[in-house]
A and B are shown apart, each in its own frame.
Chain A
Amino acid sequence: MARIVGIVTTRREEVGGGAPILYAEDREQLQKVAHLLEKILDCAAHTINEDLFIIVERK
């Protein structure tokens, strides 16, 4: 099963829970952070909505 290893968002108030959460100032920065995390963690970045990305690890 896939596992969420990180959350990147521009809206602090919309997220919470067990995975590490990273905040981005705007959507451009959101893309940058998600890109970095994808490369660093070797995991896929998926869009839930324009302001919320999840980084997902698949085995």
Chain B
Amino acid sequence: MMLDWLHSHKELTAVAMGTAFGMVARIAMLRSDYRQYPAYPHGKIIHLALGLIAGALGAVAVPALFNKDYTAITFLSLAAQQFREVRNMERNTLTAVDDLELVPRGAAYIEGIAVVFEGRNYLAIVTALLTSLFAQWIHWWAGLAAGVLSLVFSHLFMRGKKISHIASVEAAPIKLDGPNLYVGDIYMMNVGLDENREIIREQGMGFILTPRSDDARVTIANLGQRQAILHDVSTRLGVYRDDGDPGLLPIAKLGLRTGQLGLLVLPREKDADKAYEAVSGVPLLEAAVRKPTKANRKSLEEAESNG
């Protein structure tokens, strides 16, 4: 009975299923974790509403095209416009709030987050489009299968890489030689006050990141990526500082000779395992990933083939 109804109302089924799957895709990708964003209910509502709109737009396009209503495709461009707005909104909000963070996210991290928010909406729209397409074209069960597959695919696609993929993280001892502060062998900074030295000796934790490849070397040298690491670690473990304590800033410095990155963090909660997890789990920023070795290899091959 129910199935007969679904067969006889093909378009309605396609649109409803597409919208639902688009919305589900957006919900699945809307996670509040240690980044605490978007954790507040209103931020979530905005993204859920946009996810619904994305799903509906993607789903409606298919029956319209089946009815030879080709102008329906312009709806999709309208959606793209909307989602670029989302990116702007995220960027503006996070930039405005960034000044008030004890350890700021940094522009590169904010840009990364904004891009991800835009991208998630496109994935929601594609999920809706595919679900609706298969439901309309074959049957409702084909739409269901296409929807589930796209959900799995978008889940895999959105799982970015982490620091642990490109660098090995090791805890390193903090050394104070007079005012000079070292993490392992990497010189970090000059700490003037005895009081600050004492706090760093007690609360500080040192890490050394060794890049696994030449590409990774460039990535961890990126200032935006370093700031993202410091921000994430400070968010997850707390930070032992207040405004007006420039001497107690978590800091990341490059060992120029080795390409290793030295990290000094001042966590509230001094737990080596958690800190290790936090550093390893920092997402790689799109803005920081470079692949110079590939380009160099190609230009070398070209040079050889040209004689």
Q: Quick check: A34 and B192 within 8 Å, CB to CB? A: yes
CB-based contact B246/A31 at 8 Å: no
- Contacts of A9-59 to chain B: CB distance below 8 A: 31, 34-35, 38-39, 42-47, 53, 58
Residues of B within 8 A of A43 (CB): 246
Option from B192, B194, B195, B243 in Cβ contact (under 8 Å) with A44: B192
Is B190 an interface residue, CB under 8 A from the partner? yes
Bound Cα distance from A45 to B179, whole angstroms: 10
Task: Judge whether A38 and B247 touch: CB under 8 Å.
Answer: yes
- Interface size class of chain B, counting residues whose CB lies under 8 Å from the partner chain: 10 to 19
Which residues of the other chain, A, contact B194 by a CB distance below 8 angstroms?
31
Contact indicator B179/A46 (Cβ below 8 Å): yes
Q: List, in ascending order, chain A residues with CB within 8 A of B195's CB.
A: 31, 35
Complex CA–CA separation, A46 to B246 (angstroms): 11
Query: What number of A residues sit within 8 Å (CB to CB) of B?
Result: 13
By a CB distance below 8 angstroms, the chain B residues around A31 are 193-195
Compute how far the CA of A46 lies from the CA of B191 in the bound complex, rounded to whole angstroms.
6
Q: Does B307 make an interface contact (CB < 8 A)? A: no
Q: Which residues of chain B are near A47, meaning CB under 8 Å?
A: 178-179, 190-192
**Chain B residue at minimal CB-CB distance from A40:** B244
Task: Give B223 Cβ to nearest chain A Cβ, in Å.
Answer: 14
Interface string of B242-259 (1 = CB under 8 A from A): 011111000000000000
Output the least CB separation between A27 and chain B (Å): 10
C-alpha gap A39/B243 in the complex (Å): 10
Given A46-B179, A47-B178, A47-B179, is A58 in contact with B246 using a C-beta cutoff of 8 Å?
yes
Chain B 177-198 interface 0/1 with A at a Cβ cutoff of 8 Å (1 = within): 0110000000000111111000
Binding site for A on B (CB under 8 A): 178-179, 190-195, 243-247
- On A, residues with C-beta under 8 Å from B are 31, 34-35, 38-39, 42-47, 53, 58
